[in-house]
Structure 1
Amino acid sequence: MGTTTTSTDAGTTAEPTAPTGPAAKPATRRRTVKRILLGGTLVTVLAAAGGYFWLDATSDPKVLGKAECTAVTPSLTATASGRATAGDQRAVCTTLRALTDAWDRADATGYGEQFTADATYTTYVGTHYQGRQDIADAHRALFGGFVEGTGLADSFLGIRFYGPDTAVVTSRGDTYKGDRPSAADLTKTQTYTLVREGDGHWRIAAFHNTKRQNVMERLSFLWDPATAPEAEK
């Protein structure tokens, strides 16, 4: 360690100076290593972020469905008791339209009325409701809380009738505020099972909602293309 001298009123004092020569080399090497590690970390973070955004940007599904339920061409399976008709499709779509309308006006009772008395309802977080009253009560709380002021959007993927009294409807869907989202922006995949009840009305007997993990889905298709649905290849 070298010294320098300075003069003050009290006399001359010695002050330490930065090391020079061989003693300075370890400190210089440490600074170099830190800079390399910091640079490597920054590059890794930027590469990971870029990869994530690329996966997200290229993960839109190819099959987006139809904005109108009645525009879907249904699959009609005949059974011993008969086959569904075009009128049955309109009736099923009317029930789903009534469901959306009830949501949009935050009408929990009207929402629940679109389900059978013993319906089941499974949310994308795994919450499982049993029965019309349970579904209505939960949505009364939701309409005043988590989903207050939202609308409900659907894009219909398919309608399958199994005989004249049972229908399975699949859709992409989501809640939203403001402008209605495009079909590609809908983050849930939904399944409705509807039945025709004794009074002639179609009601939802079971509903299941799944959150689409778009980046994970895209990554799995890249990792193993055979896992992709035929329609998405």
Structure 2
Amino acid sequence: MNTTHIDEQARETELAAIKQVVAAVQHAQQNELVEEFAGLFRADAIWTTGGGKRLFGRDEISAFTRQVLPGGMKGLAVTLDVTHVLFIRADVAAVKVRQVYVSTDGQPSESEGEGTPLFVMSKEDGHWRLVACQNTGVLDS
């Protein structure tokens, strides 16, 4: 597909669909829904955690998530906001996300802080899927 000729209406439609996937990631993390989270990835996806652990394939991503997510959000809430989308092709996008953890009383989390994930997504069979993702923490400056 030619990326230089995505019309504005199609671009807005695709941006909305991408933002829905990011919202689904937030919902799955917030509610500790392992299968929902893993289902957002393509079967052969790559995920690098905030701690640098490399995971290859949905099965490995799911197994890791099953270990860390249940109970991992205790006392925390997370927000994920799309800050930039680069369409590499009409069906492939690099998506920068601002990830902020707060305590359930709304205070910034000192232990989790903020992250700046990069989600590479592809549109397959009419649905955007996570393909290659890197979760990176933001160091205090």
Provide the TM-score with structure 2 as the length reference: 0.82
Partner of 2:27: 101
Asked if the contact 1:196–1:203 (Cα under 8 Å) also holds between the matched residues in 2, the reply is yes
CA-to-partner distance for each residue in 1:42-93, whole Å, 9 max, x for gaps? xxxxxxxxxxxxxxxxxxxxxxxxxxxxxxxxxxx825xx525211111111
SS at match of 1:85: helix
The structure with the largest strand share of the pair is 2
1:187 maps to a residue whose letter is E
How far apart are residue 142 of structure 1 and its match? 0.9
Q: Is 1:88 aligned to 2:88, yes or no?
A: no
How far apart are residue 111 of structure 1 and its match? 0.2
SS at match of 1:211: coil
The structure with the largest helix share of the pair is 1
How far apart are residue 114 of structure 1 and its match? 0.7
Distance in 2 (alpha carbons) for counterparts of 1:166 and 1:192: 10
CA-to-partner distance for each residue in 1:160-218, whole Å, 9 max, x for gaps? 11221011111221333314467xx9521111110001x21001101101122223xxx
Change (3 A) 1:181 1:173: farther
Partner of 2:116: 189
Unaligned stretches of 5+ residues in structure 2 = none
Provide the TM-score with structure 1 as the length reference: 0.52
SS at match of 2:24: helix
Unaligned stretches of 5+ residues in structure 1 = 1-76, 216-233
Partner of 2:3: 78
Change (3 A) 1:214 1:148: closer
User: What count of residue pairs does the alignment treat as equivalent?
Assistant: 133
Match of 1:143 among 69, 73, 86: 69
SS at match of 1:99: helix
Higher relative contact order (CA 8 A, sep 6+): 2
TM-align CA RMSD: 2.2
Larger radius of gyration: 1
Distance in 1 (alpha carbons) for counterparts of 2:80 and 2:36: 18
Match of 2:139 among 206, 213, 216: 213
2:132 maps to a residue whose letter is A
